[in-house]
Amino acid sequence: MISVRFTVPCLMLAMVSACGSGGPSLSGSASENSGSNSGLSSLWEKVRALGFETGKTYEMPAVGIMADAFLADIQARGMALDAPARIFLAPGAHGRSRFDVAVEAHVVPTRAEIAETGIEKMRAVTPLDPDHIVYAAPIALAMQPRKGWEVNAIDDRHVDPQFDTPFFRAHRQPSTYDEDLHIRYMEMLAISAIYTNTVFALIDKELGTSRLSDPDAARKQVLIAFLAIPVDTLKEALAAAANQVVGGRFSTDLTGSGNIHFTHIPAGDFVADPRGLTWTRAGGVWFGDGRINGQTVNLRLASTSSLSQRQAQSGTQGTNAEAKVEGGANVGQAQ
């Protein structure tokens, strides 16, 4: 169960290798000996100028790569994945704030801590500036793997009259159910899913259809594209997501599936499991399970070499999806 004790005032901790610009597309190359004539050389330069590419083009689910980029960034900064939830759900002097308000409240403290730490040190840790660090937190909340409720979701404050006996009353443990925490927790997850769908759609638009060199380069480009989104746009997206959720009606599924499952009227149905959050609306998966705005979105890669390197290091890739080469052939699961 999530502890709501507030321990850290901001979202910037420490260390990750700096993320640079994404790798270029894999291009054809040729070496010329001293006997090559100038006409052949000129022809080759023209071909290169047209962006001639050799080799296969692979496709990987964009949602998985984007999730990896943000989860790796927050972990490499030294922050546990469950830290943002504890921070944003911590009650203040007037109770727990609406999720988007709680997020915005950490912008100024994060700026102050990074100013104290030093901007150069921050740049060695992450490509994100203080404001983008704060607005990346809901994405980590949406994409981190979960198994089971992290708060008490069973309202055991009331007892069925048939069990309300003197012996039961004498030996019953005090209730730990916190209705406000339960509702705020579901709001946090639902808002994070809706917001992340919007942000991933903006990142996908920024990346376009260009072919990136490998998954590592794609992750770097994801963070660069996120940094290019104005903070005001992120703030508006989070507020719009909150407006869809706050004030609606929740229905909690406690049938024992082992996953977090709840429905919100009118926003839709939400499941949090080892794949992250999945948002279903209008009869279909709208976000999660490889989809953004209801569409399956892939990134084009020239190589999947960094996948095997990462698998060898950690035993897991994190996207829970298959990479596919153009033509339909599978090249193995990325998990």
Average pLDDT value for residue range 206-232: 93
- Residue 62: inside a domain, yes or no? yes
CA 46/CA 40 separation, integer angstroms: 10
Question: Is 75 inside any structural domain?
Answer: yes
Task: Give residue 126's identity as a one-letter amino acid code.
Answer: T
Check whether 48 has a pLDDT greater than 60: no
Q: pLDDT at position 45, please?
A: 53
- The DSSP call for residue 62 is H
Q: Please give the backbone phi and psi of residue 46, each rounded to the nearest 5 degrees, phi first.
A: -65, -40
Q: Which residue, among 8, 185, 236, has the nearest Cα to 113 in the 3D structure?
A: 8
pLDDT tens digits for 250-265? 999 988 777 899 999 9
In a domain, 92, yes or no: yes
Tokens of 317: 């890739």
Q: At 263, is the secondary structure helix, strand, or coil?
A: strand
- The better pLDDT of the pair 157, 277 is held by 277
The answer to the question of residue 4 being in a domain is no
**Number of neighbours of residue 261 by Cβ within 10 angstroms:** 19
Q: Does the pLDDT at position 318 exceed 80? A: no
Residue 222 resides in a domain:
yes
What's the domain range around 115? 54-154+178-323
Residue 15 lies in a domain: no
Place of tokens 């009650």: 91
Q: Mean pLDDT of all residues in the chain?
A: 78
Residue carrying the six token digits 């946090």: 188
For 90, what's the count of Cα atoms within 13 Å in the CB-facing half-sphere? 17
Tally of structural domains, the chain: 1
Tell me, yes or no, whether 8 lies in a domain: no
Q: What is the pTM of this model?
A: 0.74
Let me know if residue 104 belongs to a domain.
yes
pLDDT grade for 125, boundaries at 50, 70 and 90: confident
Q: Where are the alpha helices (DSSP H) in the chain?
A: 38-49, 62-76, 83-89, 99-104, 107-117, 119-125, 130-143, 166-171, 179-207, 215-227, 231-245, 305-314
Is residue 18 within 8 A of residue 123, CB to CB? The reply is yes
